Amino acid sequence: MGGAVSAGEDNDDLIDNLKEAQYIRTESVEQAFRAIDRGDYYLEGYRDNAYQDMAWKHGNIHLSAPCIYSEVMEALKLQPGLSFLNLGSGTGYLSTMVGLILGPFGINHGIELHSDVVEYAKEKLESFIKYSDSFD
């Protein structure tokens, strides 16, 4: 999977393409994808391909293709208050999107093997919380 959706210029283009290809089918998954810019989870200087439906890896840092994340989120039928465990949670991109759907009463845990990636994910989450319009 991945690469089936044409590349976009920005996060909104990527999501529009995922919707058109029917990877994103529900409003809650769409809202979670729109709330979090995939490019923010890339290392500086590597964002050229952030809005393509492709996996990306640099050292221990890895992002799966957006179509994979959308298929997972749609298949799990996520709702507020549910629990989620992400093994190999990586950058935290998927876990953060899922957390937006689960809400404040959901349980959201990630397990990551590489300590450098855990620190990277913490930085990305802190940045998201600080700058996001999703938090009032």
Cite the active site residues.
64
Residue 44, both tokens? 């500086």
Q: How far is CA 16 from its chain centroid?
A: 15
Reduced to 3 states, what is the DSSP secondary structure of residue 110?
strand
Backbone angles phi, psi at 111, to 5 degrees: -120, 125
> DSSP secondary structure string, 46-105?
-GGGTTSSS-EEETTEEE--HHHHHHHHHHHT--TT-EEEEET-TTSHHHHHHHHHH-TT
